[in-house]
């Protein structure tokens, strides 16, 4: 391109640097943290911060999986029960079959990916809307978790070290002052990988392209079905990681848990600025969204707000946080 001349530069007014812009995205989160710190001295304690991060890890990983699917313009209602299903699979491999730990972890992740593959196939090949396909999968997986586990928790007592996956702290062994639990590091690792996939790989490109205009992608000669199935399978694999995390945290696979978690995951995604109509979204935003949810829950509890009022306040703040984000983007 010879002449770098002005291409349609849309925005007028002062331009704000990208870094500052990105920082501002945190503003809702920062405002919350500051408010709670002022309100209670117990909030800004290392232990509490770690508790918040720990509380974010499972929902964060689920939300990252949901982000991928939502960017394609789809939705995944099965993340919660799939997580449980993966945990149960890990339980079966480790406790019932007594196989070594890495196999259990791999099994859970593969089970997640396989389930994602099935959802993706139902959506791409049978053209069943994502809402229905994943609603069906949600129920199927919920039932199967109960069937496989015999409707009782599977404990990982025979796999010493299993609960270290989420609760141990490799970081803490190196820098004792910041004993960040492994579960949190795993969340960050998943976030990095997902970010990388979204921005640097073909799969990521098609994820955005599908959400932007699926018909156009098809008309461009891309094998839309294959990539779409790929996105769901990747999301499923990530949910598998969440399954391992929650199983490790509870040192057990709790077969009845999981339903309802999809709503928190999707909420984190949407609070993080990803549009449910697809085509746009970031993993960083989702992380912030998930953190906003955990900080709110934790802070209100620390302040000993009555539980019914916690719910009311949470509702208000979620709306306000998103509204603030909308205002910020409008004025930028």
Partner 1 sequence: MAGHLGPASVAGAPATLVEMTDIDKSFPGVRALAKARFDLKPGEVHALMGENGAGKSTLMKILSGVYSRDAGTVLLNGEPVEITSPREAQALGVGIIHQELALMRDLTAAQNIFIGREPRRFGILDEGQLNRDAAAIFSSMNLKLEPTVKVETLTIAKQQMVEIAKALSYRSRVLIMDEPTAALNDAEIAELFVIINRLKADGVGVVYISHKMDEIKRISDRVTVMRDGEYVGTVPGADTPIETIISMMVGRTLSNEALVIPNTADAPIALEVKGLNRGREIRDVSFSVRKGEILGFAGLMGAGRTEVARTIFGADRRESGEIWVHGKRVGISSPKDAVEAGIGYLSEDRKHFGLATGLDVRNNIALASLDRFIGFGGVLDEAGMQREAVSYIGQLSIKTPSDTQEARLLSGGNQQKVVIAKWLLRDCDILIFDEPTRGIDVGAKSEIYKLLNALAAEGKAIIVISSELPEVLRLSHRIAVMCEGRLTGMLPGGASQEDIMRLATLRAPAMEVRHAG
Partner 2 sequence: QDNYDIALISKGFQHQFWQAVKAGADKAGAEFGVTVTFEGPETETQVDRQMDMLAAALSRKPDAIGFAALDSQAASPLLQQAHDAGIPIIAFDSGVDSDIPLTTVTTDNVAAASLAADKMAELIGGEGKVAVVAHDQTSRTGIDRVDGFVNRIKEAYPKIEVVSVQYGGGDQLQSTEITKSILLANPDLKGIFGANEGSAIGVVNGKTELGSNVVVIGFDSGAAQKGFIESGAMAGAITQNPVGIGYETVKAAIGALKGETLPKIIDSGFNWYDKTNMADPAIAAVLYD
Ligand X SMILES: Nc1ncnc2c1ncn2[C@@H]1O[C@H](COP(=O)(O)OP(=O)(O)OP(=O)(O)O)[C@@H](O)[C@H]1O
Which residues lie near partner 2 (CB under 8 A)? 40, 42-43, 45, 47-48, 51, 54-55, 58, 146, 151-153, 155, 157, 163, 167, 246, 249-252, 254-260, 294, 297-298, 301-304, 307-308
Select from ligand X, partner 1, a copy of itself, none the partner in contact with residue 211, using the beta carbon and a kind-dependent cut-off of 5 to 8 Å: partner 1
Q: Does 152 bind a copy of itself (CB under 8 A)?
A: no
Our CB check for a copy of itself shows the closer of 240 and 278 to be 278
CB 88 within 8 A of CB 148: yes
Q: Does 322 bind a copy of itself (CB under 8 A)?
A: yes
| Token pair listed for 234 | 């990747």
DSSP secondary structure string, 196-261? HHHHHSHHHHHHHHHHHHHHHHHHTT--HHHHHHHHHHHHHHHHHHHHHHHHHHHTEE-TT--TTH
Q: Which of residues 38-77 bind a copy of itself (CB under 8 A)?
A: 75, 77
Select from ligand X, partner 1, partner 2, none the partner in contact with residue 280, using the beta carbon and a kind-dependent cut-off of 5 to 8 Å: partner 1
* β partners of residue 252: 155
CB 67 within 8 A of CB 281: yes
Q: Name the 3-class secondary structure at 154.
A: strand
Select from partner 2, a copy of itself, partner 1, none the partner in contact with residue 309, using the beta carbon and a kind-dependent cut-off of 5 to 8 Å: a copy of itself
Q: Name the 3-class secondary structure at 4.
A: coil
User: How many residues make contact with a copy of itself (CB under 8 A)?
Assistant: 48
Q: Does 8 bind ligand X (CB under 6 A)?
A: yes
Q: Does 170 bind a copy of itself (CB under 8 A)?
A: no
If one counts every other C-beta atom within 10 angstroms of the C-beta of residue 261, the result is 21
| Token pair listed for 68 | 């991928």
Our CB check for ligand X shows the closer of 112 and 279 to be 279
Smallest distance, Å, CB 10 to ligand X?
3
List phi, psi (to 5°) of 252.
Answer: -165, 155
CB 65 within 8 A of CB 113: no
Q: Does 216 bind partner 1 (CB under 8 A)?
A: yes
Q: Does 216 bind a copy of itself (CB under 8 A)?
A: no
Select from partner 1, a copy of itself, ligand X, none the partner in contact with residue 138, using the beta carbon and a kind-dependent cut-off of 5 to 8 Å: a copy of itself
Q: Does 162 bind partner 1 (CB under 8 A)?
A: no
Distance CA 79, CA 185 (A): 21
| Token pair listed for 124 | 């791409």
Sign of CA dihedral 167, 149, 231, 321: negative
Q: Does 10 bind ligand X (CB under 6 A)?
A: yes
Residue nearest to ligand X (CB): 8
- Give me the residues that bind partner 1 (CB under 8 A), please: 1-13, 15, 197, 200-206, 208-209, 211-213, 215-223, 278-280
């Amino acid at each position: 391109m010879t002449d770098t001349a002005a291409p349609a530069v849309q925005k007028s007014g002062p331009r704000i640097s990208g870094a500052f812009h990105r920082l501002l995205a945190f503003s809702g989160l920062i405002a919350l943290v500051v408010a709670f710190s002022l309100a209670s001295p117990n909030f800004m304690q290392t232990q509490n911060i770690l508790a918040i991060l720990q509380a974010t890890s499972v929902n964060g990983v689920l939300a990252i999986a949901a982000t991928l699917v939502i960017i394609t313009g789809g939705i995944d209602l099965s993340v919660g029960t799939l997580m449980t299903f993966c945990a149960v699979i890990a339980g079966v491999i480790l406790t019932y079959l007594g196989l070594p730990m890495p196999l259990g972890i791999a099994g859970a992740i593969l089970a997640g990916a396989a389930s994602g593959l099935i959802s993706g196939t139902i959506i791409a090949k049978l053209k069943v809307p994502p809402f229905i396909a994943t609603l069906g999968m949600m129920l199927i997986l919920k039932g199967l978790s109960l069937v496989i586990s015999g409707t009782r928790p599977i404990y990982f007592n025979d796999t010493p070290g299993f609960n270290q996956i989420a609760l141990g702290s490799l970081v803490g062994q190196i820098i004792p002052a910041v004993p960040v639990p492994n579960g949190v590091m795993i969340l960050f690792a998943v976030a990095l990988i997902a970010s990388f996939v979204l921005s640097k790989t073909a799969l990521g490109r098609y994820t955005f392209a599908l959400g932007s205009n699926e018909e156009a992608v098809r008309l461009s000669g891309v094998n839309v079905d294959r990539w779409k199935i790929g996105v769901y399978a990747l999301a499923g694999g990530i949910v598998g990681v969440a399954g391992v995390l929650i199983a490790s945290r509870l040192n057990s696979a709790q077969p009845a848990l999981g339903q309802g978690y999809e709503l928190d995951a999707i909420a984190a995604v949407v609070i993080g600025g990803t549009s449910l109509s697809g085509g746009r979204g970031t993993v960083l935003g989702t992380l912030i969204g998930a953190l906003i949810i955990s900080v709110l829950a934790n802070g209100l509890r620390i302040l000993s707000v009555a539980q019914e009022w916690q719910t009311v306040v949470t509702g208000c703040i979620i709306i306000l946080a998103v509204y603030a984000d909308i205002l910020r983007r409008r004025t930028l």
